[in-house]
Amino acid sequence: MYTVSSSPHIKSNDSVQGIMRDVIIALIPATFAGIYFFGMKAFLVTLVSVLSCVAAEALWQKLAHRKVTIGDLSAVVTGLLIAFNLPAAVPLWLPAIGGFFAIIIVKQFFGGIGQNIMNPALAARAFLLASWPVHMTNFTVDGVSSATALAILKSGEGQLPSLTNIFIGNVGGCIGETSVLALLIGAAYLLYKKVISWHTPVSYIGSVFILTLILGRGGFMNADALYEICAGGLMLGAFFMATDYTTSPMTKKGQLIFGVGCGLLTTIIRLYGGYAEGVSYSILIMSLFVPFIDKFTAPRIFGEVK
Split at pLDDT 50, 70, 90, the class of 143 is low
Nearest-angstrom CA–CA distance, 304 and 260: 30
> 242 in a domain, yes or no?
yes
pLDDT given for residue 142 in this prediction: 60
Say which residue, 228 or 158, is predicted with more confidence. Answer: 228
pLDDT given for residue 304 in this prediction: 65
> 113 in a domain, yes or no?
yes
Q: Is 286 in contact with 261 (CB distance < 8 Å)?
A: yes
pLDDT at 3 over 80: no
Closest CA to 136 of 75, 83, 77: 83
Question: E strands of the chain, at which residues?
Answer: 140-141, 144-145
pLDDT given for residue 112 in this prediction: 85
> 2 in a domain, yes or no?
no
Please name every residue paired with 93 in a beta bridge, in sequence order, or none if there are none. Answer: none
Say which residue, 269 or 5, is predicted with more confidence. Answer: 269
pLDDT at 32 over 90: yes
> 299 in a domain, yes or no?
no
pLDDT at 221 over 70: no
CATH number, domain containing residue 226: 1.10.3430
pTM of the model: 0.90
Structural domain count of the chain: 1
Main-chain dihedrals φ then ψ at residue 93, nearest 5 degrees = -70, -20
> 107 in a domain, yes or no?
yes
Q: Find the domain containing 280 and state its range.
A: 16-294
> 3 in a domain, yes or no?
no
> 193 in a domain, yes or no?
yes
pLDDT at 1 over 70: no
pLDDT at 266 over 80: yes
Planar angle of CA 260, 264, 269, nearest 5 degrees = 150
pLDDT at 59 over 90: yes
Split at pLDDT 50, 70, 90, the class of 148 is confident
> 301 in a domain, yes or no?
no
- Model confidence pLDDT, tens digit, residues 34-53: 999 998 999 999 999 999 99
